Structure 1
Amino acid sequence: MILITGRERGTVMAIHTPKTREDLARHLYPMRLQATVFERAVAVGAAESRTYSKGAPKSAPNMTRWYRTVEVIHEQLMLLQLDWKRSDPQNLPYFSQTDLNLGLITSSGDEFTGVAWGTPSTKNPKGSAFARRVDENGQIAMFGQPTDDGGEIDVKYLWILLYNERDGMVFLELSRPTSMAGKQIDSWSERIIFPPFDLALGAFSFEEDTEEDEGFGFTVARR
């Protein structure tokens, strides 16, 4: 199903809610991505966040989840052998697909992550390295960024993997940011909402027997 909903300035935001593995694959394939990359990363990140006792610093589970999620995404993207590259501008893990001018960053999200009826935001304030990758037009302020091998990254389309755990599920989406309010993203141009990752089953909760809804609608909202 594809839902188009309104956003400020009279523009629109596209929200995709694939229900089956095949439908999700259709959205990810043009970006040279596969659902297994994120399925594996979410599983490992969630498991690692549970290795701490109450005696650990309160930030330890969430930080470790992010560390391991990024690490596994790195491993899985390299295994795809689809020309994804890794760089770390100002220590920010950043993946890029130069043929398609795509960039990918991972971040925890708020309680509206992974649902079509709310507008998500990054959970925690972001620093300058993160903020500089998003300007007011949703483009990337990362032109001519040098890489470790002496090349340059020319990225026009930034996607952010947002994740948020609640109610025994990890909700996640792959979305394109439009702008930031202060140190947090507040608007998006396109969102691909994954089926929730069921922690008990260790897999996405695909509705494999549900027929795909071909309908769509749109609203244009002005400020």
Structure 2
Amino acid sequence: MTEILFHPATPMPGPDARLAELDLKVEYLDQAIWAGLNARTSAPPLGPTNGAGLLDWIHRVGRLREVLVEQGWSRYDKWNAGLVRHPSKPVVLGALQGNRHTGDPGAKLRSDYTKGPAITAMTRDNDHDQFSLFADFERHGGLKLWFLVTFPTVRNGRLVVLREVSQPEPTPQGQVIDHWSHRITLPPYDFGPVADITPDGPAEIDFTVSLR
């Protein structure tokens, strides 16, 4: 009689281990999230309706760059997209507004806004599936665009930010990002009772470019 042996599946690495593959830590990301939310409080009451969100995005990108430049990354401004580039791996990181499913691996994550030609160009070399984290770089030399995806919301009178670090699949112009090669989901960041910060979602910026 043939004996069949079953071997347990290799467990999926936790989020800290997966972030470590990108040389990232949760504490780096949270500094950027905090800077963005803190900047919201300086928006004038009669300013544009997206003013608080725009300030959030600007300061989130700025602080993310500051923290990672201290770790050896470098500012990356191709197409004025507000990214930061890893010193040795084919990785660039930006900031993106998600939806209420941000941080939930079993739900459909979408970007809050449609994307223009800049995002289309920058995602051309991204993975088409979850199994080729850096393999395509060896063949094509392209960079992989990742995002710190966030979504501020209120739960039971407390302000929380839903968060993850994810890589979109190549995305056509004029579409929201709703297909992802890799998602590193994280637990919500609880900021405590709601005060003066309005969770209306940070505005995202795209730029008109000519693809070559």
Normalising by structure 1, report the TM-score: 0.67
Q: Does 1:33 align with 2:21?
A: no
For 1:169 and 1:97, the matched residues in 2 are separated by: 28
Decide whether aligned partners of structure 1 residues 137 and 102 sit closer, same or farther in structure 2, where only a CA change above 3 A counts.
closer
Q: What amino acid does structure 2 have at the position aligned with 1:76?
A: V
Task: Check the 8 A contact 1:107/1:163 in 2, yes or no.
Answer: yes
Task: Check the 8 A contact 1:113/1:163 in 2, yes or no.
Answer: yes
2:53 to 50, 62, 72: 62
* Structure 1: 4+ residue segments shifted above 6 A: none
Count of aligned positions: 165
For 2:109 and 2:42, the matched residues in 1 are separated by: 28
**Percent of counterpart pairs with the same letter?**
24
Q: Which residue pairs with 1:215 in the alignment?
A: none
Gaps in structure 1 of 5+ consecutive residues:
1-15, 140-153, 202-223
* Structure with higher RCO (Cα < 8 A, 6+ apart): 1
Q: Which residue pairs with 2:108 in the alignment?
A: 119
**Shift in Å at residue 199 of structure 1?**
1.1
Q: Does 1:73 align with 2:58?
A: no
**Shift in Å at residue 171 of structure 1?**
0.5
> Whose Rg is larger?
2
Q: Does 1:158 align with 2:145?
A: yes
1:41 is paired with a residue whose SS is helix
**Shift in Å at residue 136 of structure 1?**
8.5
1:170 to 140, 150, 161: 161
Gaps in structure 2 of 5+ consecutive residues:
1-11, 129-140, 194-212
Task: Check the 8 A contact 1:163/1:172 in 2, yes or no.
Answer: yes
Q: Which residue pairs with 2:209 in the alignment?
A: none
Normalising by structure 2, report the TM-score: 0.70
**Shift in Å at residue 98 of structure 1?**
4.6
Q: Which residue pairs with 1:12 in the alignment?
A: none
Higher strand proportion (structure 1 or 2): 1
For 1:114 and 1:94, the matched residues in 2 are separated by: 21
Q: Which residue pairs with 1:7 in the alignment?
A: none
For 2:163 and 2:59, the matched residues in 1 are separated by: 16
Q: What amino acid does structure 1 have at the position aligned with 2:22?
A: M
Instruction: Give per-residue Cα distances to partners, 1:116-144, cap 9 Å, x unaligned.
Output: 221211112222112211138637xxxxx
For 2:48 and 2:147, the matched residues in 1 are separated by: 27
For 1:136 and 1:156, the matched residues in 2 are separated by: 6
Alignment of 1:62-211 (within 5 A): 62-81=53-72, 84-135=73-124, 138=127, 154-167=141-154, 168-180=159-171, 182-200=174-192
**Shift in Å at residue 186 of structure 1?**
1.7
Range with bigger deviation, 23-32 or 119-128: 23-32
**Shift in Å at residue 57 of structure 1?**
0.9
Task: Check the 8 A contact 2:125/2:144 in 1, yes or no.
Answer: no
RMSD across aligned positions (CA): 2.2
**Shift in Å at residue 99 of structure 1?**
1.7
**Shift in Å at residue 53 of structure 1?**
4.3
Range with bigger deviation, 106-115 or 57-66: 106-115
Instruction: Give per-residue Cα distances to partners, 1:55-103, cap 9 Å, x unaligned.
Output: 121010111000000000011001223xx12121121112222521112
For 1:110 and 1:59, the matched residues in 2 are separated by: 16
